[in-house]
Amino acid sequence: MIFLNLKTYPASLEKALDYVETAKEVSKESGVRIPVAVPCIHLKDASRLYKDSFAQHVDDVKPGAFTGSLPAEAIKEAKAAGSLLNHSERKVPFEKIKLALDRMNELRLETVICAESQEEVLKIGRLNARFIAIEPPELIGSGISVSNAKPEVIRHAVDTIATINGEMAVLCGAGISSKEDVKKSLELGAKGVLLASAFVNSKNHREFLRSLASAF
């Protein structure tokens, strides 16, 4: 898996859908799953174009008097595949992670939960989520891959998850920016990668994504 997080880089719907269309095309031609987390305002349009569109955050609330919140039901209504949760730029207390995940699971939506430390890996690894993404915050957007700078972090996370939750897949995030970074992540036991700025800032998005996909 190559999980793309667009953050709020694409201000326009046209630009967001261009990124989504690129992921859809490369996924189809390569056979590599490439979900895309889009800004909330573009989620419904992205999901119409590509079934593997994700929200970037989900709240632990049901529809009701919760101004500014994004309930799982709204993600379901948009026909999205799921959501990121607990990204380092949108941290969530552990109890709220559990509640939000329960809502997502009830609605049969996928959740990719981010962890920035071994302590979080241990806690999140015991939850009923399909994916955990390991992202040391100091390397996010740095261009320095965690798989090269801190390979022991990925290796330890993979071993920990294998021990406590055989159903959970580990993704490697933070600084992933090349085919070599992806290869190294896979060698360390990850099932895929999560990235943002390296994709949106690349000069040729299709060729960049094709290069990453070729690592599989």
**Which H or E element spans position 154?**
helix 151-164
Give pTM, 2 decimals.
0.92
Angle between helices 13-30 and 205-213 (to 10 degrees): 30
What CATH number is attached to the domain comprising 167?
3.20.20.70
pLDDT of residue 17: 97
What is each CA distance from 136 to 33, 42, 157, in whole angstroms? Answer: 23, 28, 12
- 10-residue stretch averages of pLDDT, the chain, 216 residues long: 96 95 98 97 97 98 94 98 96 96 97 93 94 74 57 85 92 86 91 93 96 96
What is each CA distance from 151 to 34, 170, 186, in whole angstroms? Answer: 23, 14, 11
C-alpha–C-alpha distance, residues 123 and 99, integer Å = 14
pLDDT of residue 157: 87
Question: Which residue in the list 87, 116, 120, 205 is annotated as catalytic?
Answer: 87
Strand, coil or helix: 115:
strand
Q: Identify whether 207 is a catalytic site residue.
A: no
Q: Identify whether 87 is a catalytic site residue.
A: yes
Question: Which residue in the list 57, 116, 120, 135 is annotated as catalytic?
Answer: 135
Strand ranges inside 22-85, DSSP E? 36-37, 53-55, 82-85
- Residue 109 structural domain: 2-213
Q: How many domains, the chain?
A: 1
